Structures are given as structure tokens and as C-alpha cells.
Amino acid sequence: DTGVSQNPRHKITKRGQNVTFRCDPISEHNRLYWYRQTLGQGPEFLTYFQNEAQLEKSRLLSDRFSAERPKGSFSTLEIQRTEQGDSAMYLCASSLTGKVEKLFFGSGTQLSVL
């Protein structure tokens, strides 16, 4: 499978715990994006990377959120001290720099904070 891969598919955690999600983009894609989607809504942009550089972060990304892409390949999104309001689907997407008009999305990680 050469698509965007996200792990885990589902995560249930207790409030206050830390969680980490992983995204493996399409191998030749140097752009990687994170979005968050709550039930019944469209996805909202969180952050994106060009290779290993994080180029932009949304105001939605509080200090409890951190994303990395250390070698310009896979990326991780960590949420510290989770809150019930963090419950959502976290989507990763990738593209080539010159072809940002078409993003390729993974299947997402569904986070439930109890």
C-alpha cells in the first residue's frame, strides 16, 4: 500500500494522559499536513511541514499539541494532558510541494478522551 498511513486507527484514553499519533506519508511527498475533524464538521487545518521544517501552525494548536517530522519522512502528533474537547478524528495528508492542489489523506486516528 503506497498511500498515507496513520496509526493507530483508534485511541481511547483518559483525561490527563498523553497520546501520540503517527503518520507515514506517500514516500516521495515532501509536504505533510495535520487536520482535525469533529463529528459533523469539515476538517480544520492544524499544521504542516515542508520536509522536516514546520512551516505553519494554526491557532487551534495549543501548547499541549506538538508535531514533529524529524527526518522529513514520517510525522508524529503528540497531545499532552488530554482533555475531553480533544476528542476528534486526526487526519494526516501529504502532497508534493509543486502539487498542493491535490492532497492525499490517510484514514485518520479517532481519539476518544474519557
Partner 1 sequence: SQQGEEDPQALSIQEGENATMNCSYKTSINNLQWYRQNSGRGLVHLILIRSNEREKHSGRLRVTLDTSKKSSSLLITASRAADTASYFCATDPSNTGKLIFGQGTTLQVKP
Q: Can you give the binding site for partner 1, defined by CB under 8 A?
A: 4, 6, 31, 33, 35, 40-45, 48, 55-56, 89, 91, 93, 95, 100-108, 110
- How far is residue 21's CA from residue 7's CA, in Å, rounded to a whole number? 6
- Least distance from partner 1 to the Cβ atom of residue 96, Å: 10
Q: Which three cell numbers stand for residue 45?
A: 487545518
Q: Which is nearer to partner 1, 103 or 111 (CB)?
A: 103
Q: Which is nearer to partner 1, 42 or 85 (CB)?
A: 42
Query: How many Cβ atoms sit within 10 Å of the Cβ of residue 61?
Result: 18
Nearer to partner 1, 4 or 67 (CB): 4
Nearest approach, Cβ of residue 103 and partner 1 (Å): 6
Of 3 and 16, nearer to partner 1 (C-beta) is 3
CB of 31 to partner 1, least distance (A): 6
